Structure 1
Amino acid sequence: MTALVILALVALFIGLRLFSVLGERTGHEQPLVKAPETEPKASGLMPEPDLAGASASDDDAMNYVPLAGPGVRALLAADPGFDVARFLDGAKGAYRMILEKFWQGDLESVEEFVDDNVLGAFGGAVEARNAQGLTLDNRLIHIDHATIVAANLDRSIAGLTVRFEADIAAVTRDAEGNVVAGSMDDAVQTRDRWTFRRDVASADPNWILVETDEEA
């Protein structure tokens, strides 16, 4: 019984934190995070952004930390149609959807939205959980905050890291459906950093999840 409880606790931790891996993408409560449709650049590469001509609104500035400001302004210069608030709405939708599908073990539903390395790590976690006869009965109660904490633009490749602060209720059950860890009565506050990437020169408007990490 002690070994089962230990395995359950390990599965619970994995269910909450997902793993620290490389990968990226985003989506939103409608389709996954979509940037405004723009004409793709013929060269596939972006010129160096003119930061002097790029600016973000006061409302947008509330959605990212000061250190991310130069990267956000570079992205705005390269893709004037980019909208910070809309991106964060999509990122929150992706966070919820990918977590829920991971908990359910249904990775096929999200494979087009995550990098291969992330998908591989998630798949390994699901296989280990199944081998132990454990299931996760987790619930994402609420996303309290979603803030851009890092932003960069390397030629046409944009990367945005979002810090999510959320409340999650987590329960681990054995093969018979008995609760072996966690409780639905107590939500745990989590802080995760997910990194999303997109080629702004591409006609594809979606962002891809390329990295997940836990914030201490």
Structure 2
Amino acid sequence: MLIVVLLGMVAGFLALRLYAVLGKRTGHEQPLPRAAEERVGMPPAPRTIDVQPEPRDIAQRYVEPAAENGLRAIVAASPTFDVAEFLDGAKSAYRMILEAFWKGDRETLEWLTEAEVQAAFGDAIAARETAGHTLDNRLVSIEKAVIADANVAAGIARITVRFDADIAAVTRDAEGQVVAGSLTDAVETHDVWTFARALKSGDPNWKLSDTDEA
């Protein structure tokens, strides 16, 4: 089953920060197409990771100690939750959201992000359009994705994932001339994204609720 991980970002003053961060580090990538079925939810991963003691050696590769109690609470409230499945979907969501932002695809961002994040991304896209800039970016690779924190409060589960990725980025002006970046040199990026979901909701999708830099 595919689980959509959607992003939520700090609104208000972070809208400008978002443009500075994503415009600089992820604002230079070409969007990568995704299969239609992946738009239904985050794609599954092999169910090989659990936070139970049995596969401890595997879990340690993808879950930091600070997140373990929170993940146990999420599993207790939602027994079908699977760490590996979630992480695999989170990586797909990371790619999809960045690509949508780079393309200025507001419709995709709307179903991938919460309201405050939508507003922040929308402001950043509008600022880019006003400047006459377009982004020609490529997500070269996601080197690592680990769960750094997790918690449940008032029925809302939140999971923070730290992504280490390589991104080739170029900003072009209205004439198509390169004004920043390079597609031949990938830049290391370190993002911390938090995904949220109401556990009692019939909607299995997760949405991005916050972003930051590692």
Q: TM-score, normalised by structure 2?
A: 0.77
Q: Which stretch has the larger CA shift, 56-65 or 173-182?
A: 56-65
Distance 1:191 1:64, change over 3 A: same
User: Which residue of structure 1 lines up, in the alignment, with residue 41 of structure 2?
Assistant: 32
User: Which residue of structure 2 lines up, in the alignment, with residue 92 of structure 1?
Assistant: 91
Distance 1:12 1:170, change over 3 A: farther
Ranges of 4+ aligned residues in structure 1 off by more than 6 Å: none
- 1:15 and 2:26 aligned: no
Provide the C-alpha distance between the structure 2 equivalents of 1:182 and 1:12, rounded to a whole number of angstroms. 14
Deviation at 1:16, TM superposition (A): 4.3
Q: Deviations over 1:162-208 (max 9, x none)?
A: 00000000001010001111111100000001100111111111101
- 1:107 and 2:106 aligned: yes
The answer on whether the counterparts of 1:114 and 1:208 sit within 8 Å (CA) in structure 2 is yes
Kindly report the root-mean-square deviation, in angstroms, between the aligned alpha carbons of the 2 structures.
2.1
| 2:179 alignment partner AA | V
Alignment of 1:17-166 (within 5 A): 30=38, 31-33=40-42, 55=52, 57-58=55-56, 59-166=58-165
Aligned length: 178
Deviation at 1:113, TM superposition (A): 1.8
Tell me the SS of whatever aligns to 1:181.
strand
Provide the C-alpha distance between the structure 2 equivalents of 1:34 and 1:144, rounded to a whole number of angstroms. 18
Provide the C-alpha distance between the structure 2 equivalents of 1:12 and 1:185, rounded to a whole number of angstroms. 21
Deviation at 1:71, TM superposition (A): 0.4
User: Which residue of structure 2 lines up, in the alignment, with residue 51 of structure 1?
Assistant: none
Distance 1:188 1:129, change over 3 A: same
Deviation at 1:94, TM superposition (A): 0.5
Q: Deviations over 1:41-67 (max 9, x none)?
A: xxxxxxxxxxxxx83632234211001
Tell me the SS of whatever aligns to 2:72.
helix
Structure 1, unmatched stretches of 5+, are: 1-9, 19-28, 36-53
The answer on whether the counterparts of 2:133 and 2:171 sit within 8 Å (CA) in structure 1 is yes
Identity %: 53
Tell me the SS of whatever aligns to 2:174.
coil
Tell me the SS of whatever aligns to 2:150.
strand
Tell me the SS of whatever aligns to 1:204.
coil
Provide the C-alpha distance between the structure 1 equivalents of 2:66 and 2:99, rounded to a whole number of angstroms. 31
Distance 1:185 1:194, change over 3 A: same
| 1:93 alignment partner AA | S
Deviation at 1:156, TM superposition (A): 2.1
User: Which residue of structure 1 lines up, in the alignment, with residue 5 of structure 2?
Assistant: none
Provide the C-alpha distance between the structure 2 equivalents of 1:14 and 1:100, rounded to a whole number of angstroms. 11
Provide the C-alpha distance between the structure 1 equivalents of 2:25 and 2:121, rounded to a whole number of angstroms. 11
| 2:72 alignment partner AA | R
